[in-house]
Amino acid sequence: MKKHNFSAGPCILPQEVLLKASEAIMDFNGSGLSLIEISHRSKDFVEVMENARSLAIELLGLEGKGYSAIFLQGGASMQFLMTAYNLLEKKAGYLNTGTWSEKAIKEAKMFGEIVEVGSSKDENFNYIPKGYSIPEGLDYLHLTSNNTIFGTQIKKFPNTNVPLVCDMSSDIFSRQLDFSQFDLIYAGAQKNMGPAGATLVVIKDDVLGKVSRQIPSMLNYQVHISKDSMFNTPPVFAVYTSMLTLEWLKNAGGITAIDEINEKKAQLIYSEIDLNPVFKGYANKEDRSNMNATFNLTDDKLKDTFDALCKEAGINGINGHRSVGGYRASMYNALSLESVGVLVDVMSEMERKG
């Protein structure tokens, strides 16, 4: 039976990417060797890395704008501290929109003064704070564009001269934005890009070199950039598979094309959530994420019936995060509109049964 994979991450990847990646495990580029048993310094792998880096920049529309893309390890969680290590001299601002922002704040506090410019903690992060002011003298402002756990997404980014740092782990490459408004973007690969194990960091070169502290080589963006993202052995399989996904996205028309489909998927599920009395949305309507739709049953007694119907329909991975409960349908780039349709059909069947 076809599975409809709504997992929050690691998550669905395009079938053709999985196929090509599995072929490369057995025989990479017809070499008779596996991708994961050759040198990362070999010509074939260096090409993969260069291709992955330039596709990322191209898809984000940042070509010729002074940005570098590198693939690092340690997950987006490592970026919570690396961003501060490399950019925080005195004071930085953080918008607290959920668990991941809180973790970023915790790490950054070890490097300087942190101003929480806004927070939605009062409502268990079901909205995006707006109308907050940005104090003078910040080294940067840190945002989390999409809150994977709570299902909220920043729709409008602040217009400011302060450098913007953005954790885009769960919505990178999913919607058209002016990416040049950001000075540093980071994202774990395991949502819209590839398997876990690589983290994409896109940095505007001129934000670096401004802090006075010594930075250990492995945590220093300049070191990784100067070594073309090959300072140490990169996670070759994760980078290769990310490259395949970026190629897939480019061939599918890039971010603008996928944005349209993602918008349709989101409209389909949210209109069902709004019209169907069996379900209730979690996030504030205007802040709802196009990637992660969070919702609850209005009557918890219906849980077993709903879960059984989902299982029967091949729906996987819609249990909500433990801090929110309920359900979360993650609709990353590789998830088809048809899969969302299957979930919506099950939801409307619940209403008929109810």
Task: Please tell me whether residue 144 binds ligand PMP under the rule CB under 6 A.
Answer: yes
Residues 167, 183, 247, 272: which binds ligand PMP (CB under 6 A)?
Answer: 167
Instruction: State the number of binding residues for ligand PMP (CB under 6 A).
Output: 11
169 or 290: CB nearest ligand PMP: 169
28 or 127: CB nearest ligand PMP: 127
Q: Which residues contact 2 (CB under 8 A, 6 or more apart)?
A: 314
Residues 96, 170, 241, 245: which binds ligand PMP (CB under 6 A)?
Answer: 170
Query: What distance in Å separates the CA atoms of residue 162 and residue 94, rounded to the nearest whole number?
Result: 12
152 or 229: CB nearest ligand PMP: 152
The DSSP bridge partners found for residue 204 are 67
Task: Please tell me whether residue 75 binds ligand PMP under the rule CB under 6 A.
Answer: yes
From the list 69-77, 208-216, 276-284, 343-351, the region that binds ligand PMP by CB under 6 A is: 69-77
Question: 10 Å Cβ neighbour count for 40?
Answer: 15
**What distance, in Å, lies between the first and last C-alpha atoms of the chain?**
27
Which residue of the set 100, 171, 183, 265 is catalytic? Answer: 100
74 or 112: CB nearest ligand PMP: 74
Question: 10 Å Cβ neighbour count for 337?
Answer: 12
In a 13 Å sphere around the CA of 6, the CA atoms on its Cβ side amount to 31
Annotated active-site residue 248? The verdict is: no
- Is there a contact between 5 and 329 (Cβ–Cβ < 8 Å)? no
74 or 354: CB nearest ligand PMP: 74
Q: Which residue is nearest to ligand PMP (CB)?
A: 75
Query: What distance in Å separates the CA atoms of residue 256 and residue 177, rounded to the nearest whole number?
Result: 9
Helix axes 236-251, 43-59, angle to 10 degrees: 50
Query: What distance in Å separates the CA atoms of residue 194 and residue 248, rounded to the nearest whole number?
Result: 11
The helix/strand/coil state of 273 is: helix
Task: Please tell me whether residue 73 binds ligand PMP under the rule CB under 6 A.
Answer: no
Residues 35, 48, 49, 76: which binds ligand PMP (CB under 6 A)?
Answer: 76
Annotated active-site residue 167? The verdict is: yes
- Is there a contact between 59 and 192 (Cβ–Cβ < 8 Å)? no
Which residue of the set 139, 171, 183, 191 is catalytic? Answer: 191
CA distances from 145 to 95, 162, 173, 320 (A): 10, 17, 12, 19
Q: Are strands 327-330 and 292-297 parallel, antiparallel or unpaired?
A: antiparallel
69 or 347: CB nearest ligand PMP: 69
Task: State the DSSP H helix or E strand holding residue 173, giving kind and residue range, or none if neither.
Answer: none
Task: Please tell me whether residue 169 binds ligand PMP under the rule CB under 6 A.
Answer: yes
Task: Please tell me whether residue 332 binds ligand PMP under the rule CB under 6 A.
Answer: no
Task: Please tell me whether residue 319 binds ligand PMP under the rule CB under 6 A.
Answer: no
Annotated active-site residue 303? The verdict is: no
Residues 148, 152, 174, 229: which binds ligand PMP (CB under 6 A)?
Answer: 148
Task: Please tell me whether residue 192 binds ligand PMP under the rule CB under 6 A.
Answer: no
Instruction: Give me 186's structure tokens.
Output: 């980071």
Task: State the DSSP H helix or E strand holding residue 277, giving kind and residue range, or none if neither.
Answer: none
170 or 245: CB nearest ligand PMP: 170
Task: State the DSSP H helix or E strand holding residue 329, giving kind and residue range, or none if neither.
Answer: strand 327-330
Task: Please tell me whether residue 200 binds ligand PMP under the rule CB under 6 A.
Answer: no
Residues 42, 73, 77, 348: which binds ligand PMP (CB under 6 A)?
Answer: 77
Task: Compute the least distance from the CB of residue 319 to ligand PMP, in Å.
Answer: 15
Task: Compute the least distance from the CB of residue 311 to ligand PMP, in Å.
Answer: 24
Instruction: Give me 167's structure tokens.
Output: 């954790």
Site of interaction with ligand PMP (CB under 6 A): 9, 75-77, 100, 144, 148, 167, 169-170, 188
- By annotation, the residues acting in catalysis are 100, 167, 191
